[in-house]
Chain A
């Protein structure tokens, strides 16, 4: 990231909330990409918004301090951790070794001072140097750990904080990260990690702490909805912590150009089923199983009924009225609740959508490219306003601007292997001779985890030899539910330069991904085709079956073609086609 973005940041003065500066550093090393992005935005948000959007929304970067990368170097070197870190050891063994190691002496005093005065939940986030150096936004590759930080004694809080910092350090070398690195020109040995310790935006309700709204807003939409155009962006909102959106892929999606439009649905009941039914919160009550090497150690999933009891749905939910199959704004009537954020988006209780549009514009201007932002917000519990909007992260989006035309006529023909009118990305590939595909005749939703393992093995070989390939499978790629698709993370298929997701008639999958999976696909310019069986375009399975296999298992086949494929994706029309010779 351009160093000119970074201003001179203050050193942490051992006053987290009460200090003069709300964005401080511990150490004199690098900030890493995430922290750098926030540093770039801090001044500009203050200058352009003065900390507020309209009278009703306070806009802040939640208080944070960054442990700079020099401490990561000391930690790794002094504890001689590189041997295990760069080995092929299991994640849990690496994490254990890191937990046993000691944090550098000049750091622990600051952490101790910080924790002594802070009793609210903290997010301990990774901020990677390679993200920064490459201007390459990594998403969900490294760990974030939320800690409740509400134990009565400072010793326990301190211990939990240091465990979280060590866990984030360890995640630099986890298998996912190693796999992910294979898709870049770097290795994990090049990586250095800064750590962000940040206030969590939210409200405590008994044993739960969560924001009323969390969200991801992008200034470019690869899957435009209704009348919206790709350049008009897209927003995903959810109740509770952002994990629902970024990892589970569940939330309320709308275009900032049409905030009142619902996401596409077949029936009201269908909309109800698609929308959020549970949410993530930080567990402030009895601790679960002690497990410092688990990212969700202090996170729990709750039902909407819990949120309704908390009173946190009041300004974000509507009600389904089954007798006339309608959705009624608000919660005046009893009935199933739907998290559609109608009071904000449709009744404009506060200028929420206007603010998001303004923020996207400000970020685009600052970073000089399309952006993705993550945020969390709380609303006044009685009146819904004012609200406190926490700006959590900004990432540049990688969008190809190559001019590619794919006409309708091109989608059919003798040499068409795959065609689709629902394609992600933009560009042309003509150097792919390898195809890895899940055999349609053998596929079963019960075997998706086995398939994921076999794909990972093939990917490791192909990625290590720098052989790009086309990947074809069924259901949602990156699904967290093994019955909903093939549960890979991006690192497990990172060598694929084009991906096809399809369905079979006996399946009933919704084709979509968690936003981090989606983000990585677009960041690495992977072309992504959706080919559901109910659409008119099909995959030419017979042709594929005739090609020479170089590797084959019962479920997966790897074929090598004598001549490269030609893959064309037109991002403006979402049309794409793959030709074989």
Chain B
């Protein structure tokens, strides 16, 4: 049992430190890159539907923008902390650099539970968040995007508030907008599909035909749903899906040995990715504890929910059959757990690579919004696949060349690129 509570930023900094040693970065570079360049913490007062005013806490962290404007999500979550936001901003810097897109890394959030807020209250929260940050956001400064428990509607409210403040139309201010209102086709699918594109390459590398594989997935939100859909289209079988049950305040795993039926499961899922337990049971799914997804005898595990899900405490429960872990979520695995996994020769596709489809498509959306000309979905997904596949192979090649883990190789490439950009700008 580990005693210290998990801290995402500690994890992110330790990952950075290890690679900084390996890259031989000097002290100024380390100091600049292991901390965010700018942090904003603020309060958002909201008058609730019942009348009283409630105060919410908001954040925006810009980790580094040497390679381009900041880019990062905004999440609404009751357990949000500044350290989580810092870590997510740092990972976003690495992710954009790894994908070789001209953006920096940032992240933001509001401590709240949207399940308990009406749409009007959520709208007020979105508008309040933008009002507090309008000077530090913009298409050429820092570009938000949806993340956990935020969606296209939230982005549109934020855009509207921003445009009202600026007095101009700036669709490139935010990404994840609805299609037809400045959104990109393929944006919804991008994170999940992107994960499967790199998973496909990993299977090729291991010489395993996709149609002979099974998978278990944690999370049935955007990433999980689209990853399952494409994985099944490639011939793979998903036997277990875990997700959060809002009513009961716990998670469950839904298992079907013959393979989950994506469409029927999606039909009984709420907008936050929660599956209706009773209806799932009626459809013949075994309802198991939330942790059971990890213990399934499958070839592939896809943690696509939140951070800190595979730890030293449960890593040993991963069955011997598992050959690949593809991290759909940010930071779903602790360093200690990863060390154990490495000893078992499990092929890891690290989060900054596996879930980079979302930010890559966000970048495409921003490009399209700036041009005010929108591409067909074929074009978006075609470009996404090429980017993801190219990134996978550059990581794999470096991992082989330098004897690094896939995660270290990914960080190595990304950190080297960002450090170089800082040097080129004369910052360090």
Tell me the bound Cα distance from A82 to B402 in angstroms. Answer: 52
Tell me the bound Cα distance from A157 to B233 in angstroms. Answer: 26
Query: Given that A105-B189, A106-B234 are known contacts, is A159 also in contact with B389, CB under 8 Å in the complex?
Result: no
Give the residues in chain A near B193, CB-CB below 8 Å: 105
Give the residues in chain B near A108, CB-CB below 8 Å: 378-379, 381-382, 385
Tell me the bound Cα distance from A230 to B233 in angstroms. Answer: 50
Q: Which of A197-249 contact B (CB under 8 A)?
A: none
How far apart are A75's CB and chain B's nearest CB, in angstroms? 11
**Contact B389–A102 (Cβ < 8 Å):** no
Contact of B378 among A74, A102, A116 (CB under 8 A): A102
Query: Given that A28-B235, A155-B379, A159-B376 are known contacts, is A106 also in contact with B386, CB under 8 Å in the complex?
Result: no
Interface secondary structure of B, over-half rule: helix
> Quick one: which of B197, B233, B382 has the most chain A CB within 10 A?
B382
Tell me the bound Cα distance from A110 to B200 in angstroms. Answer: 12
How far apart are B268's CB and chain A's nearest CB, in angstroms? 21
Q: Which residue of B lies closest to A13 (CB)?
A: B204
**Contact A109–B389 (Cβ < 8 Å):** yes
**Contact A112–B230 (Cβ < 8 Å):** no
How far apart are B182's CB and chain A's nearest CB, in angstroms? 19
**Contact A102–B377 (Cβ < 8 Å):** yes
How far apart are A110's CB and chain B's nearest CB, in angstroms? 8
The interface bits of chain A over 83-112 (1 if a CB of B lies within 8 angstroms of the residue's CB, else 0) are 000000000000000000011111011111
Q: Which of B368-392 contact A (CB under 8 A)?
A: 375-379, 381-386, 388-389
Query: Given that A28-B235, A74-B233, A104-B233 are known contacts, is A109 also in contact with B379, CB under 8 Å in the complex?
Result: no
Tell me the bound Cα distance from A116 to B379 in angstroms. Answer: 12
**Contact B385–A109 (Cβ < 8 Å):** yes
**Contact B381–A109 (Cβ < 8 Å):** yes
Contact of B384 among A74, A102, A109 (CB under 8 A): A109
How far apart are A95's CB and chain B's nearest CB, in angstroms? 16
**Contact A105–B379 (Cβ < 8 Å):** no
Tell me the bound Cα distance from A158 to B377 in angstroms. Answer: 12
Tell me the bound Cα distance from A448 to B341 in angstroms. Answer: 76
Tell me the bound Cα distance from A103 to B200 in angstroms. Answer: 18
**Contact A106–B379 (Cβ < 8 Å):** no
Contact of A106 among B209, B211, B233, B377 (CB under 8 A): B233
The interface bits of chain B over 178-203 (1 if a CB of A lies within 8 angstroms of the residue's CB, else 0) are 00000000000100010011001000
Q: Which residue of A lies closest to B230 (CB)?
A: A105
**Contact B386–A105 (Cβ < 8 Å):** no
Give the residues in chain B near A112, CB-CB below 8 Å: 382-383, 385-386
A175 is an interface residue with CB less than 8 A from chain B: no
Give the residues in chain B near A111, CB-CB below 8 Å: 382
The interface bits of chain A over 102-144 (1 if a CB of B lies within 8 angstroms of the residue's CB, else 0) are 1111101111110010000000000000000000000000000
How far apart are B352's CB and chain A's nearest CB, in angstroms? 20
Query: Given that A112-B385, A113-B386 are known contacts, is A106 also in contact with B189, CB under 8 Å in the complex?
Result: no
Contact of B233 among A14, A105, A155 (CB under 8 A): A105
Tell me the bound Cα distance from A155 to B382 in angstroms. Answer: 10
**Contact A105–B385 (Cβ < 8 Å):** yes
Q: Which of A455-475 contact B (CB under 8 A)?
A: none
Tell me the bound Cα distance from A139 to B378 in angstroms. Answer: 30
A162 is an interface residue with CB less than 8 A from chain B: yes
How far apart are A403's CB and chain B's nearest CB, in angstroms? 51
Give the residues in chain B near A106, CB-CB below 8 Å: 196, 200, 230, 233-234, 385
Give the residues in chain B near A109, CB-CB below 8 Å: 197, 381-382, 384-386, 388-389
Q: Which residue of A lies closest to B380 (CB)?
A: A108
**Contact B381–A105 (Cβ < 8 Å):** yes
Tell me the bound Cα distance from A108 to B197 in angstroms. Answer: 11
How far apart are B245's CB and chain A's nearest CB, in angstroms? 30
How far apart are A39's CB and chain B's nearest CB, in angstroms? 20
Give the residues in chain B near A104, CB-CB below 8 Å: 233
How far apart are B392's CB and chain A's nearest CB, in angstroms? 11
How far apart are A258's CB and chain B's nearest CB, in angstroms? 52
How far apart are A331's CB and chain B's nearest CB, in angstroms? 47
Q: Which residue of A lies closest to B235 (CB)?
A: A28
**Contact B389–A103 (Cβ < 8 Å):** no
How far apart are A332's CB and chain B's nearest CB, in angstroms? 52
Give the residues in chain B near A14, CB-CB below 8 Å: 389
> Quick one: which of A74, A106, A110 has the most chain B CB within 10 A?
A106
Tell me the bound Cα distance from A113 to B382 in angstroms. Answer: 8
Tell me the bound Cα distance from A169 to B155 in angstroms. Answer: 38
Q: Which of A152-184 contact B (CB under 8 A)?
A: 155, 158-159, 162
How far apart are A319's CB and chain B's nearest CB, in angstroms? 50
How far apart are B299's CB and chain A's nearest CB, in angstroms? 18
Contact of B382 among A28, A74, A158 (CB under 8 A): A158
Tell me the bound Cα distance from A547 to B211 in angstroms. Answer: 64
How far apart are B316's CB and chain A's nearest CB, in angstroms? 34
Tell me the bound Cα distance from A280 to B189 in angstroms. Answer: 43
Q: Which of B385-406 contact A (CB under 8 A)?
A: 385-386, 388-389
Tell me the bound Cα distance from A14 to B385 in angstroms. Answer: 12
Query: Given that A105-B189, A108-B378 are known contacts, is A116 also in contact with B386, CB under 8 Å in the complex?
Result: yes
Contacts A103-B378, A105-B193, A109-B197 known; 14 new A-B pairs at CB < 8 A: A28-B209, A104-B233, A106-B200, A106-B233, A108-B382, A109-B381, A109-B382, A112-B383, A112-B386, A116-B386, A158-B379, A158-B382, A159-B378, A162-B379
Q: What are 19 of the A-B contact pairs (CB < 8 Å)?
A: A28-B209, A105-B230, A105-B385, A106-B230, A108-B378, A108-B379, A108-B382, A108-B385, A109-B381, A109-B382, A109-B385, A112-B382, A112-B383, A113-B385, A113-B386, A113-B389, A155-B379, A159-B379, A162-B382
Of all A-B residue pairs in the complex, the 8 with the closest CB atoms, nearest first, are A109-B385, A112-B382, A108-B382, A102-B377, A108-B381, A112-B386, A162-B378, A103-B378
